[in-house]
Amino acid sequence: MSLVEISYFAAAVLFILGLKQMASPVTARRGIVWAGVGMVLATVITFVHPQVHGNYLLMLLAIGIGGGIAWKTGKEVAMTDMPQMIALYNGMGGGAAAAIAAVELIKQEPMSDSVQMLAIFGALIGSIAFSGSLIAFAKLQGIKQLRGAIRFKNQQRINAGLFVVTAWMALGIATSGTDYGMFTLFLFFALALAFGVMMTLPIGGADMPVVISLYNAFTGLAVGFEGFVLENPAMMIAGIVVGSAGTLLTQLMAKAMNRPITNVLFSNFGETTGEAQEVTGAMKAVEAPDAAIMMAFAEKVIIIPGYGMAVAQAQHKVWELVKLLQDRGVTVKFAIHPVAGRMPGHMNVLLAEAGVPYDIIYDLDEINEEFNTADVALVIGANDVVNPVARTDPNSPIYGMPILNADHAKNVIVVKRGQGAGFSGVENHLFFADNCRMLYGDGQAVASELIANIKEI
C-alpha cells in the first residue's frame, strides 16, 4: 500500500472519529478538530498523488482563494446567519462533486458500466444539492424575491416531469459508454441544476432545517459516488459517512415535526382543507419587574429558546439571568425542540457559545413531563414549537407536530418583540392562554431588565 493510500485511509478514519465525537456537545469541539486534521492530511497528500501532473500552482491558488474566503466569512458571520452559511457551504460540496463528475465525463474515456453509473448519478445528486442549497440560502437570507414558499399552478406536475426527463437523460448517459455528445451532457447538467431550484422553491421557511439536512445527505452521497470514480478511499468513506448521517438526521428532523419527508418536499406547508381553530381571549402583557418577581420566587423555571433569542444575541444575558436565579435556589433548565431555530442544533450551539452547562439542557422527550411541575416557563423567541394547536386542531398545518408543553406550566412568560405569527405564519394560541403573559421587547434588552430587577429583590 502506497503512502498516498495509507494517508487517505488515515484521513477517512479521522473523519469517522471526528463525526462520532460530534455526537455529544461535550466532545463536539474535539471532533471538529480531528475531522479538520483529516481534511488537512487528505489535502496535503494529494500534492504527491501520481495522477497530479504538476498543477501545483492552480491547486495552491484554489486553496488560497477558497481558504481565504472561508476564513474571513467564518470569522465574521453572525450566529443568526449561520444557517444560511451552512446551506451555502453544503451546496459548495455538492457542486464540487458534480464538477468532478463533469470533468471525468467530458474526457469521454472508457469506464466500467458501474463506475460510469456512479459518476452520472453523483453528478445528478450533487447538482441538485448545489442549486437547491443556493435557493435555501436565499430563503434563509431573506432575499425578497425568494422569501417564503413560492408556488404556482401545476407546480408538482412540472417538477415531476422535469425529474423524469433528467433521470432519463442520466440513465441514457450512464449506459451509452462514450457515445454521448457534449450537448447532451451539458443539457443534463442544466436540467439537474434546474430541478434543484424547482424542488426547493415551494418549500417554506418552517421546513428549512429538514431541507438543509436533506441536501447535506445528498452532498455526502455525491462525494462518496465520485470517490469510487476517482478510486479515492477518503472521498468514498467520508461521503458515505456524511450521506448516511445526513439521511438519519433528516429522518429524525422530519419525525420531530411528525411529517414524512415526502410531505416536506411535495406538500404545501401552511395550506389546510378545513377552517382553523378560532383564537379566543386576548394577549395579556406583563412588565419586567413583575416577571422578575415571578421567577425569583419560583422553585422551577424552564427556559425555551428560539430563533428570536438568536436574532437578539441574548444567550449571554440569558445565562447571566439563569445564574442569578440559581443563586436564589431556583432550579433552572433549558428545553430544546429538535427544530428550534433555522438549522439542526441551532439553539445548542448558541447556548454552548454562552457557556451554559450541558447538564441543564434537555431535549423535548427528556423535559416535556416536567412542565407540569414548573412554576414558570420562559419562552424567548420561540413560536411554533410551543403552539398548542399542534395537539388540538386537526385543521392546523402544524397539527401532530410534537411540541414543548409550555402551556402546562403554572405560568408562561413569552419574550417577543411584537404580536405577529411565527415563521410558519400560524397564529400561536399559547399567547392567548389564561396562564400566559407577554413580555414585549428585544430579547437581550428584556433579559437585562430581568437581571436588574432580580438584583433589586
pLDDT in tens, 71-80: 998 888 876 7
Q: What's the average model confidence in pLDDT over 32-46?
A: 90
pLDDT at 420 over 70: no
* Domain identity same for 341 and 193: no
* Domain identity same for 292 and 189: no
pLDDT at 206 over 70: no
* Domain identity same for 256 and 319: no
pLDDT at 185 over 90: yes
Q: What is the pLDDT of residue 419?
A: 63
Residues above pLDDT 90, as percent of the chain: 42
Q: Which of 27-36, 92-101, 233-242, 417-426 has the highest mean pLDDT?
A: 92-101
Q: What's the average model confidence in pLDDT over 282-304?
A: 93
Cell of residue 73, nine digits: 466569512
**CATH code of 450's domain:** 3.40.50.1220
pLDDT at 275 over 60: no
* Domain identity same for 87 and 236: yes
277 lies in some domain: no
**Residue 146 sits in which domain range?**
77-266
- Asked if 439 contacts 291 with a C-beta cutoff of 8 angstroms, the reply is yes
* Domain identity same for 163 and 200: yes
* Domain identity same for 433 and 351: yes
Q: What's the average model confidence in pLDDT over 99-121?
A: 89
- Asked if 8 contacts 230 with a C-beta cutoff of 8 angstroms, the reply is no
Query: Residue 91: which pLDDT band, with cuts at 50, 70 and 90?
Result: very high
Cell of residue 290, nine digits: 413583575
Give the 3-state secondary structure of residue 339: coil
Chain mean position to CA 34: 22
24 lies in some domain: no
Please tell me the distance from the alpha carbon of residue 138 to that of residue 148, in angstroms, as a whole number: 10
Look at residues 212, 232, 266 and tell me which one is the last residue of a structural domain.
266
Please tell me the distance from the alpha carbon of residue 295 to that of residue 384, in angstroms, as a whole number: 24
* Domain identity same for 256 and 372: no
45 lies in some domain: no
> How does DSSP assign 338-360, residue by residue?
TT-SSSTTHHHHHHHHHT--GGG
Please tell me the distance from the alpha carbon of residue 218 to that of residue 93, in angstroms, as a whole number: 10
Strands of the sheet containing 331-336, edge to edge, are 361-363, 331-336, 300-305, 376-380, 411-416, 436-440
Q: Give per-residue pLDDT as tens, 46-66.
A: 888 887 777 788 889 999 999
Cell of residue 29, nine digits: 469541539
Dihedral over alpha carbons 308, 309, 314, 317 (to 10 degrees): 130
Q: What is the pLDDT of residue 263?
A: 66
Please tell me the distance from the alpha carbon of residue 175 to that of residue 218, in angstroms, as a whole number: 22
322 lies in some domain: yes
67 lies in some domain: no
* Domain identity same for 246 and 110: yes
**Total Cβ atoms within 10 A of residue 40:** 12
Left (φ > 0), alpha (ψ -120 to 50) or beta: where does 285 sit? beta
Q: Give per-residue pLDDT as tens, 352-372.
A: 888 899 889 999 989 999 999
Q: Give per-residue pLDDT as tens, 147-157.
A: 667 878 888 88
Percentages helix, strand, coil for the chain (3-state, rounded to 5) are 65, 5, 30
391 lies in some domain: yes
* Domain identity same for 127 and 253: yes
Q: What's the average model confidence in pLDDT over 273-299?
A: 81
Of the candidates 298, 236, 195, the one whose C-alpha atom is nearest the C-alpha of residue 42 is 236
Give the 3-state secondary structure of residue 91: helix
Q: What is the DSSP letter of 340?
A: -
Buried b (16+ CB within 10 A) or exposed e, 99-115: bbbbebbeeeeebeeeb
Q: Please name the residue that has the C-alpha cell 472519529.
A: 17
> How does DSSP assign 394-412, residue by residue?
TTSTTTT-----GGGSSEE
* Domain identity same for 94 and 181: yes
Please give the positions annotated as active site. 384
**Total Cβ atoms within 10 A of residue 420:** 10
Q: What's the average model confidence in pLDDT over 153-172?
A: 91
Q: How many domains does the chain have?
A: 2
- Asked if 393 contacts 387 with a C-beta cutoff of 8 angstroms, the reply is no
- Asked if 411 contacts 383 with a C-beta cutoff of 8 angstroms, the reply is no
403 lies in some domain: yes
Q: What is the pLDDT of residue 19?
A: 83
* Domain identity same for 107 and 164: yes
| Least trusted range by pLDDT, from 119-128, 200-209, 301-310 | 200-209
Which residues are CB-contacts of 147 (< 8 A; sequence separation ≥ 6)? 139, 205
* Domain identity same for 383 and 349: yes
Q: What is the pLDDT of residue 390?
A: 86
